[in-house]
Amino acid sequence: MPLYEYVCEDCRKDFTLLQPTDVDKSQTACPECGQKNVRHNFSTFAAKIEGGQSLSRKTPVTADDLPNKKVLNLPLPRLRSEL
């Protein structure tokens, strides 16, 4: 379950909640004043990846590094006037 950061628009309290991703965030109430007038703040996150290839690359990843290179063979975008 991810951590979500909020700020209460009424009492200006910052708080963090551990919530499932499918929870109705409009029902989130401030733990300080109990009001539901809260704003969800976007925050950074961290992930730990174990196993697999080394993440310490000296060069940037390119399409040649991908196992299915054809997925990137998309047609060039066209102007609206060309449609």
pLDDT tens-digit series, residues 1-21: 788 899 999 999 999 999 998
* Structure confidence at residue 30 (pLDDT): 95
Q: How confident is the model at residue 25 (pLDDT cuts 50, 70, 90)?
A: confident
Q: What is the mean predicted confidence (pLDDT) over 43-53? A: 68
Token look-up 């998309």 returns 74
Q: Return the closest-CA partner of residue 24 out of 40, 46, 43.
A: 40
The residues that bridge with 38 in the sheet, in sequence order, are: 8
Q: Which is higher by pLDDT, 65 or 35?
A: 35
Q: What three-state secondary structure class fits 41?
A: strand
Spans of all domains in the chain: 3-41
Q: Which two tokens stand for residue 37?
A: 């007038």
Out of 2.60.40.1220, 2.20.28.10, 3.30.230.30, 3.30.1340.10, select the CATH number for domain 3-41.
Answer: 2.20.28.10
Largest CA distance in the chain: 57
E strand or H helix at 7, and its extent?
Answer: strand 3-8
